[in-house]
Amino acid sequence: MTEKRLNKFISESGFCSRREADKLIEQNRVTINGQRPELGTKVQPGDSVEVDGKRIRASAADKTDRIYIAYNKPIGITCTTERDVEGNIIDAIGHKKRIFPIGRLDKPSEGLIFLTSDGDIVNKILRAENAHDKEYVVTVDKPVSERFIERMSRGVPILGTVTKPCTVKVVSKFVFKIILTQGLNRQIRRMCEFLGYEVTALKRTRIMNVSVDGLRPGQWRDLTAAEMAELNAAVAGSSKTAAEGHVRPAKRIKPGSEQRDGQAKPRSGNPRRPGGMGEGRGVLDRPQGKNPQGQKPQGNSGKAKRPADKPTKAVYVNPNAPSSKNKGQDKPAKKKTGGNTLTLKRKG
């Protein structure tokens, strides 16, 4: 055995996935030769690796000891390896070796899901940029319209991003088929909800070249040699992690910028208002004057245009000072005297 990163060594042994192995290392549950390692530590030939005191054996180089199964998950089963969760997928299958699911299906959803003891293949299948097909048959609460199909296939804004274009076809009045290459959280349900539909049934029928056909809900089988050959060929060029500079960050949608049909509101084309010149802001910094019609400017709309080559300097104006137009009228009126009021006059 050549040296390997610790998380890879653990995942290849079939104990768990690489992501879960990283969590175990962070929780100080892993030791190498009795010492607690850091993330990224490499295992050397002859090292003793333990998780919670249990020895982890190195996997066979030819992967003959790996498990790959296809399972038709029924509604109500939760895709978790936590055995204390009622209805967890591990207890539902009851496999004699330690396995874990590749991806997940929501508890109210059903259909095909892979389980394996090979942590090395998990990220290759799951990473969105590897673009591996997953096919679903979906039933909704309203008749499927042409506009709905067009919007779903073009992409829908959910979870702060826009879903990738996908293939969507009508199956019947309330049923459609969709093929995704993404795996966002509750993606299909959120997409339908955004367009005003509610999912009443969801079934995954295919992952890449493997179909759920022939498996009743709750049944599982080992992947065939032919299926594994196609699967390995499909992921041969897949990256386990995102290649640097290869994946662009998801386009963010500003809150409130979505219209009803999911399209971002078009910009007006007008230049942005300079800071301090908006309504209720920068009153003391505005240049005062009259426009060509002799009216006082109001905000930006009434401001007279100035030549671009003659910048004007903003002048401070006290808003409480009397204007020249009303000079003499802003003085407080003298109080009238009368009655028995005594008025004293100073001798000149």
Which residue numbers are catalytic?
106
List for the chain the helix, strand, coil content (%; round to 5). Answer: 20, 20, 65
Strands of 64-156, DSSP E? 68-73, 100-102, 110-116, 134-140
Using only C-alpha atoms, the chain has a radius of gyration, in whole angstroms, of: 35
Which residue has tokens 């104990």? 15
36 closest CA partner among 45, 27, 47, 28: 28
> What Cα–Cα distance (Å) separates residue 315 from each residue in 276, 291, 296?
14, 17, 16
49: helix, coil or strand?
Answer: strand
The distance from CA 289 to its chain's CA centroid, rounded to whole angstroms, is 51
DSSP string for 214-258: T--TT-EEEPPHHHHHHHHHHTTT--SSPPTTTSPPPPP--TT-B
Q: Which residue has the tokens 């459609």?
A: 176
Q: Crossing angle for the helix pair 18-26 and 119-126, nearest 10 degrees?
A: 110
Number of CB atoms found within 10 A of residue 249's CB = 6
Helix spans in the chain (H): 6-12, 18-26, 89-93, 119-126, 146-154, 187-194, 225-234
